[in-house]
Amino acid sequence: MSLSATDLSAIWLTLQLASLTTVLLLLIGTPVAWWLARTRSRMKGLIGAVVALPLVLPPTVIGFYLLVTMGPHGPVGQLTMAMGLGTLPFTFAGLVVGSVIYSLPFVVQPLQNAFEAIGDRPLEVAATLRAGPWDRFFTVALPLARPGFVTASILGFAHTVGEFGVVLMLGGNIPGRTRTVSVQIFDPVEAMEYAEAHWLAGGMLLFSFVVLLALYSSRRMRPGLG
Amino acid sequence: MPSRDSRPVQSASAAPAGIRARFGVGYPGFALDVDLQLPARGVTALLGHSGSGKTTCLRCIAGLERSAQGRIEVNGELWQDSAAGVFVPTHKRALGYVFQEASLFPHLSVRRNLEYGMRRAGAGRVSLTQAADLLGIGHLLERMPDKLSGGERQRVGVVRALLTSPRLLLMDEPLAALDLRLKQEILPYLERLHDELDIPVIYVSHSPEEVARLADHVVLLDQGTVAAQGPLADTLARLDLPAVFSDDAGAVVESVVAAHDERYHLTRLDFTGGSVLVARRPEPIGHRLRFRVNARDVSLATERLEGSTILNLLPVTVIGVGAADTPAHVLVRVDMQGTPLLARITRRSCEQLGIAAGRPMWAQIKSVALLG
């Protein structure tokens, strides 16, 4: 086994970050996706575009703006300091905030597609069977959108694991606190120690492939539900 | 505006029983504006061609079209009054809705589909097993919806709606998605329902046959407005219906099986003002049967024709003459001592024979369609 203690600590940190981010994203992304799927508001285009921004922006750009807004002079930084929390950059909490924003479209879009695929009919049926709006959401919309939740969780988790630019801009490279696997790979590569980098890089490659293989195989087995 | 979502309001005065619904809704290229007065019991059919607004009508009554404006009162309960800002949301209206496709929840078994509404509506008058047996789905309870046939699914949909103990049952072409064989399989169940239910039913259909078989009361919709409404037999045999309905013009007659002729395999059906002979029926003497006579299958003669192969010749009196679907034809409404009948004949024959109100004539009925 050629994984060092710092490697293992980076893996553990990455798993914690990705898990927490995924849970938060499901909580935040579900109402956003529901709204996007059902609204007829003119704001739909605007909100949809904002949610999709992380798809096209270089992660360094996201990281840069987060650093500025969460820093001691930024609005979020001022707020967190006033609340006695200090500033978020270079902390694990800061990474979580960055990851949530960075991976947002990967969770919202599959959920939105799943909710749109349900259509109005099952919800109307539930209404004629005396189910109120919340009841309809939890007993009809959520169960019917389950494949979308599976896809969203896997993509949200995997995408967070693979994040690099935002982490580097926002988290620096503090072992045990903000040094994730992707950053941990960067150091030996810069030092030309390729043999060491291979272990983690190969592991990431395998992980990503297995995740996507699982995702696409499950989609083929249940066509039309992804 | 006062509260948009309110509970059903019981009218202070003793409100007349029945359904009073007056509402309008407009979309680009389509507007609906109706005023319905329906009886508190029995089946009312909303009949019309596609695009006439039947389904929209039903959706407005159910509260599924929030943009509809108007006033809807069901057996003394106010469901909507836009002028007063009252709009009871769908889930607080005591209604049952059967959609065109059964729309069962795919993630729930038949039993849990049935329980979904029953639990939320509270204790009902009928038990799950009773209702399931009435519609013949008792053996399907543990199946998932995708393992049911189209007819079974539709019956589950009907039972699911009934188990909410509705005060009004709305059915949107429940048979439209089914083939003829499945229709024949379900119709007897719906007829049984008709006999056992004591709540009003509004039944959307584009099939005059289905309507004649199930309905007591009929509303004819044409391009978003009510062309006619009233008791079934009177309304379908009216002369002043818009031309779009003349293809369906005909009379519906309530009759009783009076005698069987074993030698010729015929059955005699008696009705107010006369009787007809039809091919031997399995029903026992005394059984009630409805039949429909299409206006196209009736011709008129000034005297009783001898030597005709047509069995059913009946003395009638002309009530009036109206326009038919083509300029070549007219519709003649005649009276068989109390039972109305329509005949579609050429304008030329009408003028040459001098057919006019009050004239006694003979009606020759080529065929009757038995409903039941």
Calpha distance B78→B22 (Å, rounded): 12
Radius of gyration of chain B (CA): 23
State the nearest Cα–Cα gap between B96 and chain A, in angstroms.
6
Shortest distance between the Cα of B95 and any Cα of chain A, in A, equals 7
What average pLDDT does range B91-99 have in this prediction?
94
| Least CB–CB distance from B121: residue in A130, A132, A143 | A130
To probe the interface with B, which of A121, A124, A130 has the most B CB atoms within 10 Å?
Answer: A130
B4 burial level (CB within 10 Å; 0-12, 13-18, 19+): exposed
Question: What pLDDT, on the 0 to 100 scale, is given for residue A157?
Answer: 93
Q: Does B116 touch chain A (CB under 8 A)?
A: yes
pLDDT in tens, A199-212: 888 988 998 899 88
Give, for B1, the enclosing helix (H) or strand (E). Answer: none
CB pairs under 8 A between A and B: 57
- Which of A146, A152, A39, A170 is closest to A98 using CA atoms? A170
Q: Which among A124, A127, A140 has CB closest to B105?
A: A140
> Shortest CB distance from A130 goes to which of B64, B99, B164?
B164
User: In chain A, which residues have their Cβ closer than 8 Å to the Cβ of B95?
Assistant: 128
- Secondary structure of residue B33 in the 3-state scheme: strand
Report pLDDT digits (tens) over A13-26.
999 999 999 999 99
Phi and psi torsions of B218, nearest 5°: -140, 140
Are A128 and B120 within 8 A, CB to CB?
no
Task: Provide mean pLDDT across the span A98-119.
Answer: 95
Q: What average pLDDT does range B266-282 have in this prediction?
A: 91
Any chain A CB within 8 A of the CB of B278? no
**Residue of A189, A116, A101 lying closest to A147 (CA atoms):** A116
CA B200 to chain centre: 12
Count CB neighbours of B13 within 10 A. 6
> Cβ contact (<8 Å) for B164 and A129?
yes
Rounded to an integer, what distance in angstroms lies between the CA atom of residue B274 and that of residue B271? 6
Structural domains in chain A, sorted by start: 5-221 (1.10.3720.10)
What is the rounded average pLDDT of the residues B101-110? 92
Min Cα–Cα distance to chain A from B176, Å: 17
Are A143 and B161 inside 8 Å of each other by CB? no
User: Does B123 have pLDDT greater than 80?
Assistant: no
User: Does B123 lie at the interface with A, CB-CB under 8 angstroms?
Assistant: no
A143 neighbourhood in chain B, CB within 8 Å: 107
Which of A28-32, A138-142, B121-125, B207-211 is predicted with the least confidence, judged by mean pLDDT?
A: B121-125
Q: Is B109 on the interface with A (CB under 8 A)?
A: no
Nearest residue in A to B96, CA atom: A128
- Residue A141 is given by DSSP the state I
Query: Closest chain B residue to A146 measured between Cα atoms?
Result: B107
When pLDDT is averaged across residues B35-61 and rounded to a whole number, the result is 90
AA letter at A62: I
Give the pairing type, strands B250-261 and B201-205: unpaired
What pTM did the predictor assign?
A: 0.80
Interface check A123 vs B, CB under 8 A: no
What distance in Å separates the CA atoms of residue B104 and residue A129, rounded to the nearest whole number? 11
Angstrom distance (rounded) from CA A27 to CA B201? 43
pLDDT for res B372: 65
The strand pairing partners of B339, in sequence order, are B336
pLDDT level of residue B82 (50, 70, 90 thresholds): very high
On chain B, the residues whose CB falls within 8 A of the CB of A135 are 91, 120
Residues of B with CB below 8 A from A125's CB? 97, 99, 103, 105
pLDDT band of residue B11 (cuts 50, 70, 90) is: very low
Chain A residues within 8 A of B160 when measuring between CB atoms: 129
Chain A closest-CA separation from residue B196 CA (Å): 21
DSSP letter for B282, please. Answer: S
* Secondary structure element (H or E) that encloses residue A97, with its range: helix A92-118
Proportion of chain A in helix, strand, coil states, percent, rounded to 5: 80, 0, 20
What is the SS3 assignment for B317? strand
Tell me if chain B has a CB within 8 Å of the CB of A100. no
Residue A8's H or E segment, with its range, is helix A5-38
Instruction: Decide if A178 contacts A171 (C-beta within 8 A).
Output: yes
Mean pLDDT of B169-186: 81
Integer angstrom CA distances of residue B214 from B59, B210, B246, B250, B294:
21, 6, 20, 16, 17
C-beta atoms of A127 and B96 within 8 A: no
Tracing tokens 């309870």 back to the chain, one arrives at: B141
Interface contact B99, partner A, CB < 8 A:
yes
Contact B293, B253 (CB under 8 A): yes
Q: What is the structure's pLDDT at A224?
A: 40
pLDDT at A82 over 50: yes
| A93-102, A141-150, B174-183, B319-328: segment of lowest average pLDDT | B174-183
pLDDT at B12 over 50: no
pLDDT at A200: 86
Contacts of B79 (CB under 8 A, 6+ apart): B8, B61, B63, B72, B73, B86, B88, B93
Residues of chain A positioned with their CB less than 8 A from the CB of B164: 129-130
**Is pLDDT at A223 greater than 50 in this prediction?**
no
The complex's ipTM works out to 0.80
